Amino acid sequence: MASWVAARRPAMAAPITPGEPETAVTVYSAPLLVLALLLATVAGVLIVVGVARLRRDGTAPR
């Protein structure tokens, strides 16, 4: 969660036409987004492995 929150920052986009106001946008950092997705994938795999082990053995992992 921390890498997802750290991956974004506010910025201002230039106006499309002269005389229009700037627009507030959110800019994302690609490396931190990849880290967040990688960590979520690892967590999901570990949950699946843990549940499979519990179902197979019938006991908690030691």
| Predicted confidence (pLDDT) per residue in 22-55, tens digit | 999 999 999 988 998 999 999 999 999 999 998 8
Structural domain includes residue 62: no
Close Cβ partners of 1 (under 8 Å, ≥ 6 residues apart): 36
Of 32, 24, 61, nearest in space to 46 by CA: 61
* pTM for the model: 0.63
Q: What pLDDT score was predicted for residue 59?
A: 60
**How many whole angstroms separate alpha carbon 7 and alpha carbon 61?**
35
Report which residue type is found at 5: V
CA-angle at 24, arms to 18 and 28, nearest 5°: 125
pLDDT category of residue 6 using cuts at 50, 70 and 90: confident
Q: Does some domain include residue 28?
A: yes
Q: Which amino acid is at 57?
A: D
Task: Please name the residue that has the structure tokens 């507030």.
Answer: 24
Task: Name the domain count of the chain.
Answer: 1
Residue 22's domain comprises 2-57
Whether residue 48 lies inside any domain: the answer is yes
